[in-house]
Structure 1
Amino acid sequence: MLSLREVLDSKAPGEEGHGLDRVDAVRALQESVVAPVERAVREAADRLVRDFALPATMTFAQADEVRARTESALATLYLLSPTAGVRPDRWTPRLLLQALETYVRSALQTSLTALSRALGQLPTLDRALADVTAKCQNLVALEIVLGAAKPPDHPLLPSLSASSSASATAAATKHHNFIQPLLAHLETGSLASYFWRTMAGGLASRVQDIVARPGVVARTLKANRANVGDAIRQAVIRGCQPPSALAGPKSRGRAAEANWDREIAVMVGSVVNNLGGR
């Protein structure tokens, strides 16, 4: 599939694909075979990324199976990402980044909706925070998988030897693993930090809306601000821990060394600091 794309993308005069797009048989091949197969492969890979989850009850064997399927999907989206007309040092795996960003934003939106609703119905807060914690743990697990997986050599990108020294260096280091381009795209240092900080930004306005409507809901939330703040703090701490099935020595070491005080502060502050006076 990639070899055929390489030929068809080489459209400049003198290149092997020049003029092929005007051949009926080639156009028919693209429309009836190549495009549908590529679309099916991409959709299958997108679905595997979208369904990624590593619950706390998962065994090591099950986690290895999920990791293997996910790495296969990541490599597929990496290789299928368009390369035509892009300099090697400027190229990014667009399809891969789209799938991963969709996953992250879906986790954020679901969590923000659940937590916002629970703040108006405090008996449901523990359950909502447990769900939010699980979403963040999945992101932590995804970051571990992305960080450990090395992208395959892309046959459609010009070889490093054909690039300038600076371009070669950039291309060689830019995609050392799958997590680097995603963190650069999201402009963050970790997915857990991005998750909590982004959610805090959206949560503040939801709390302000609750407080702006005087009544039993606002009074109950204000009266329980200390308990709510502590529950959120514990949720952030738990959510930033890697799932046990992926918590090897390196992961446990990084988790122990990580400092999530800022994420705790912005999350707790997004609620408590917007409750006003008692």
Structure 2
Amino acid sequence: MTTNEEVSSYIDYDTFLSPTFTPTAFANSLVTSTNNASDLTVDLTTPLSKVLFDLQEIDTHIHDITTKSALPLLQHAKTQSTAADKLAQQVDSQIQTLTESYHRLEREVIERHAVAEEVRLAASRLWVTVKIGRSVARALLLGRSLERDMAEAMTAATGVVSTTNPAPVAESHAALVHAAYTLQTLRALFNASGRDEDGEHLSRINVLNTLRTDLITPSEQKLKSRAQQIIREFSLSSLTQLAATTPVSNPAAPVSINGTQQQQQQPSTTLPPETTHETKSRTVSALQTLYLLSPPLPTAATSDTSFQPTLLLNALTTYLQTSLTSSIASLTRALSSLPTLPRTLTETSARCQNITALEQLLASTPPTSKHPLLEVHNSRLSETNLLLVGPANLLQPLLAALDTASLPSYFWRSLSSGLAPRVAEILAKGGVAARSLRGAKERVRALLREAVINGVEGARRDDAEGGLNWEREVAVFVGSVLGALGR
């Protein structure tokens, strides 16, 4: 301890351990402390000897400490080495156990998992194959059913009874609806092309692509054409035959034109019940066919949740517009030649009776209970509140599209609005037609009124709505023709 104290007192450890210690500053202090500033030469031997002496003392001090602490250091190193050997042995045993566990897991889990993954992949591919096979088989069965229904429907259209299907022609009109339902079922199957849906891979099957191009698309065009033709040819009016047999000089016209309405009784013609029933059943089949063939509009295109059968609405609107166009053209010619007016008004009343009968038929005809494409459309939007809902009957969407409460009222009001400018042209041209029209004003008024009443109430004679008041339509129609005469 005495030696340590002397060494500690001799060597300035604080200077060497100071954070601000620098070798250059320490060397400068040694040189300046051993030399005078006025000396011409600098003696470096003394400061160098001091530094060497300090180093020797520090080395001696380290050697003494190491010699005294050698045995404890060796014992400590031996203890650490022994502990490290024991730890290494324990770690080696644990590593060996872990390695054996890994190999066992590899045999029991990884290898089995690889085999199970192969089985799973094979099973999933087999399931996809089975699903495709089932979908293809279903599509082919539906295609065969569609082909059979189309044969029956076309038999009804041509009136030729097939040897393989000797059913009456009247009963074959239901094949239109069956064919339309089958066709839309096929469409729904092909449209279900989402992930994990039945029609996911059907677009890659050549035979189904051929089925779509050679059977489905032509059948859809034939069904639409046939249904539209039936609606265009719809007629239940008993006045149609009467108008065809009425001569130009109508005996039912008043004898005089001075306002006295002296009309003769018109002969009545009634369609046979068989014809009426056949026409109604054929028209109902056509209406339901077009309803089924109408695709559901995308929900994003409309905020209305009611299903709009576009093909049906287009066919019915075309039927109404054709009746209006024909009536306006024929009435314009008849007003220029009054002897033909009674016959023309009879034809117009017949068209209105057909429209009235069509309205009754639409009101009593519910839509088909199932619409395949509508069901698929709603199933994809089942989590939203934008599901499309079918109408209660086939008349509702037509009235909503035309913005009217009644088809006969729509007919007479539209006819009046289209006829008024034609009458104005006749009067503006003058001549015999204008003078005859002015002279027979009261006779024309009576004929126009009778035409509206016959057209509206004739088809509703046996209906509870037959007693409705149609004076407003009478006034509008009469005013469209005679309104210009009063000015």
Normalised-by-shorter TM-score class: 0.7 to 0.9
SS of the residue 1:275 aligns to: helix
Between the aligned residues of both structures, percent identity stands at 40
Q: Which residue of 2 aligns with 1:52?
A: 234
* Amino acid in the other structure paired with 1:260: W
The higher relative CO (CA closer than 8 Å, separation ≥ 6) is in 1
Q: Which residue of 2 aligns with 1:37?
A: 219
SS of the residue 1:240 aligns to: helix
Q: Which residue of 2 aligns with 1:97?
A: 313
Q: Aligned pair 1:269/2:479, yes or no? A: yes
Q: Which residue of 2 aligns with 1:121?
A: 337
SS of the residue 2:423 aligns to: helix
Q: Aligned pair 1:65/2:278, yes or no? A: yes
Deviations 1:57-86 (CA, angstroms, capped at 9, x unpaired): 212232111111111111111111112634
* Amino acid in the other structure paired with 1:264: V
Deviations 1:21-63 (CA, angstroms, capped at 9, x unpaired): 4655443322211100111112111111111101322122321
Q: Which residue of 1 aligns with 2:191?
A: 9
* Amino acid in the other structure paired with 1:52: F
- The structure 1 residue matched to 2:291, chosen from 66, 78, 84, is 78
TM superposition score normalised by structure 2: 0.51
Q: Which residue of 2 aligns with 1:196?
A: 412
Matches within 5 A, 1:141-156: 141-153=357-369, 154-156=371-373
- Measured in 2, the distance between the counterparts of 1:101 and 1:166 equals 30
Unpaired runs of 5+ residues, structure 2, are 1-182, 239-269
Shift of residue 234, structure 1, vs aligned partner: 1.0
Shift of residue 227, structure 1, vs aligned partner: 1.4
Cα 1:84–1:181 change in 2 (3 A) is closer
* Amino acid in the other structure paired with 1:273: G
Shift of residue 107, structure 1, vs aligned partner: 0.8
- Measured in 1, the distance between the counterparts of 2:458 and 2:288 equals 23
Q: Aligned pair 1:255/2:466, yes or no? A: yes
Unpaired runs of 5+ residues, structure 1, are none
Q: Which residue of 2 aligns with 1:230?
A: 446
Deviations 1:160-196 (CA, angstroms, capped at 9, x unpaired): 897589766x72xx51111111111111111100000
* Amino acid in the other structure paired with 1:155: P
- Measured in 1, the distance between the counterparts of 2:294 and 2:477 equals 36
Matches within 5 A, 1:123-202: 123-153=339-369, 154-158=371-375, 171=389, 175-202=391-418
- Measured in 2, the distance between the counterparts of 1:177 and 1:152 equals 10
RMSD: 2.4
